[in-house]
């Protein structure tokens, strides 16, 4: 019997995604069962190795990190014709230089934001939410929402208002928030928590009923943000998990340790500019989260398998993925090539490239 093409001279079996080697085919099958590799993982453009996250890919390429590159040949090619922001590699140095100039974004000052009084209801698309918190409680460490912003995919401001906290503010955190007592005293640009929640909810639901959105999206919009649950809790509102796009918990944007990165770090690293210096306007957080979301959504991954990603807007899509390597198929799986195993594998998160 021929050995399959991917086992080396020592009869070892190499994972087609992460290149780990296993002495026994059954160990490779077990690895595939837990690794949840897929075409949606960040990949080295030189050797095509899959990585769990962009951070792991940066380590592989030796980009901006303190450690030596894990793959010296990839790092050399990357240094000559790669983009340190999106981590793509180009055919030549000229193409790489032209691309880099476009890939690095710059800060959009809040003063240049266009305020749309009426969001176009017929247009779908995602909305990004950002809140600024001030401190309450005896030591000022309790976060309460004092300002809220919503932007659309075109970075237009749909909402920018101060919010009057329900409990006494003990620390305005002025150095970072720029918020003073007079901002929160009411008036035309300061609303109640309830009113802020209602406005955010109306924009997101886009005419759909809240109960309906729990099971099917309809016209409801995707909600983008960083640490969305914290922001939503501050507004005392809920939104279905399958409609949230959170840059703090999206696996490709997380640390290798599976902890969240800060929005400031993500913006610096993957968009190429700095936010949250001086007085922080939530508009800038919204724009940064939206830009990160759009970059992730616009990634070109392999063509979808017919049927596999259909009806991706319905909740509870991922649950069945673990069925890809059932124990009763063990024998059959052990006879497959590593490439065939990889084709069966499905990710344990829903890639944003599957959004419209």
Nearer to Zn ion, 61 or 158 (CB): 61
Nearer to Zn ion, 44 or 148 (CB): 44
Which residues does 79 contact at the CB level (< 8 Å), separation at least 6? 62
Taking CB under 5 A as the criterion, the residue among 77, 294, 324, 353 binding Zn ion is: 353
- Find the angle CA(69)-CA(75)-CA(76) to the nearest 5 degrees: 135
Nearer to Zn ion, 17 or 271 (CB): 17
Pairing of strands 169-171, 157-164: unpaired
Taking CB under 5 A as the criterion, the residue among 29, 56, 57, 74 binding Zn ion is: 74
271 binds Zn ion (CB under 5 A): no
Q: How far is the CB of 90 from Zn ion (least distance, A)?
A: 9
Residue 6's alpha-carbon distances to 2, 16, 20, 95, 249, in angstroms, are 11, 8, 12, 34, 35
Residue 13's alpha-carbon distances to 1, 51, 89, 120, 340, in angstroms, are 16, 18, 28, 55, 13
In the three-class reduction of DSSP (H, G, I as helix; E, B as strand; rest coil), residue 224 is classed as strand
Per-position x/- string for 85-124, each x denoting binding to Zn ion as judged by CB under 5 A, each - no binding = xx----------------x---------------------
Q: How many other CB atoms are there within 10 angstroms of residue 15's CB atom?
A: 20
Nearer to Zn ion, 19 or 218 (CB): 19
**Which residues on adjacent β-strands are paired with residue 145?**
133
Which residues does 270 contact at the CB level (< 8 Å), separation at least 6? 54, 85, 86, 253, 292, 295
204 binds Zn ion (CB under 5 A): no
What is the distance, to the nearest Å, from the Cα of residue 17 to the centroid of all Cα atoms in its chain?
A: 21
- Contact present, 329 and 25 (Cβ < 8 Å): no
83 binds Zn ion (CB under 5 A): yes
Query: Count residues contacting Zn ion (CB under 5 A)?
Result: 18
Taking CB under 5 A as the criterion, the residue among 4, 6, 14, 18 binding Zn ion is: 18
Query: Token digits for 56?
Result: 């792991």
Taking CB under 5 A as the criterion, the residue among 15, 57, 113, 342 binding Zn ion is: 15
Q: How far is the CB of 184 from Zn ion (least distance, A)?
A: 41
Sites of contact with Zn ion (CB under 5 A): 15, 17-18, 35, 40, 44, 46-47, 49, 71, 74, 83, 85-86, 103, 301, 351, 353
């Amino acid at each position: 019997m021929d050995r399959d093409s991917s086992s080396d001279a020592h009869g070892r079996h190499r994972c087609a995604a992460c290149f780990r080697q296993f002495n026994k085919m059954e160990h490779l099958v077990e690895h595939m069962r837990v690794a949840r590799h897929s075409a949606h993982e960040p990949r080295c453009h030189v050797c095509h190795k899959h990585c769990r996250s962009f951070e792991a890919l940066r380590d592989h390429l030796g980009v901006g990190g303190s450690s030596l590159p894990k793959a010296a040949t990839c790092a050399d090619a990357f240094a000559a014709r790669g983009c340190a922001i999106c981590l793509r590699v180009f055919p030549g140095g000229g193409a790489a230089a032209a691309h880099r100039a476009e890939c690095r974004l710059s800060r959009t000052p809040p003063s240049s934001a266009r305020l749309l009084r009426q969001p176009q209801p017929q247009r779908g698309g995602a909305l990004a939410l950002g809140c600024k918190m001030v401190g309450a409680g005896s030591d000022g460490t309790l976060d309460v929402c004092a300002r809220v912003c919503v932007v659309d995919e075109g970075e237009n401001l749909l909402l920018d208002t101060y919010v009057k906290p329900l409990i006494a503010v003990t620390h305005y955190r002025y150095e970072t928030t720029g918020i003073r007592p007079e901002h929160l005293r009411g008036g035309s640009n300061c609303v109640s928590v309830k009113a802020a929640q209602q406005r955010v909810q109306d924009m997101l639901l886009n005419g759909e009923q809240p109960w309906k959105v729990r099971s099917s999206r309809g016209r409801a919009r995707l909600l983008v943000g960083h640490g969305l649950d914290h922001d939503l809790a501050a507004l005392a509102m809920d939104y279905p998990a399958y409609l949230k796009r959170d840059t703090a918990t999206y696996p490709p944007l997380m640390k290798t340790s599976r902890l969240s990165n800060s929005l400031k770090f993500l913006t610096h690293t993957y968009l190429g500019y700095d936010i949250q210096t001086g007085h922080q306007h939530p508009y800038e957080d919204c724009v940064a989260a939206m830009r990160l979301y759009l970059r992730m959504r616009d990634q070109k991954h392999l063509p979808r398998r017919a049927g596999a990603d259909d009806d991706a807007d319905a909740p509870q899509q991922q649950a069945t993925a673990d069925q890809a390597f059932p124990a009763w198929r063990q024998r059959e799986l052990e006879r497959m090539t590593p490439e065939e195993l990889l084709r069966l594998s499905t990710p344990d998160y829903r890639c944003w490239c599957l959004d419209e």
